[in-house]
Amino acid sequence: MRLPRDLSGADLVKRLGRFGYSITRQTGSHLRLTSTTQGEHHITIPNHDPLRIGTLAAILDSVASHHGLTRDALLHRLLE
């Protein structure tokens, strides 16, 4: 599945809430999210609009790896 080109950081934070991620702190324009599902996992998301493709791909790879999914499967669940 192709990565969306118009996804903002705030929108991604909302969508990752489905996987148990919540904002634990903010430093400047960067948000730190933590999930305790399947062990503790932290990710940092820039609150930019839109997110750069490489940044989005790296975030999705990290989340997918933690949850034992492929990036395409995770993206499908996030965008449905």
Q: What is the pLDDT of residues 23-35, one digit of tens each?
A: 999 999 999 999 9
pLDDT confidence tier of residue 38, bands split at 50, 70 and 90:
confident
Summary mean pLDDT of the chain: 93
The domains of the chain, with CATH numbers, are 9-75 (3.30.920.30)
User: Tokens at residue 2, please?
Assistant: 């192709």
Tally of residues, the chain: 80
Q: How many Å apart are CA 2 and CA 37, to the nearest integer?
A: 26
pLDDT at 80: 82
Distance (Å, whole) CA 60 – CA 56: 6
Q: From the CA atom positions of the chain, what is the Rg in Å?
A: 12
Please give the pLDDT value at position 37: 85
The predicted-structure confidence for 58-72, as pLDDT tens digits, reads as follows: 999 999 999 999 999
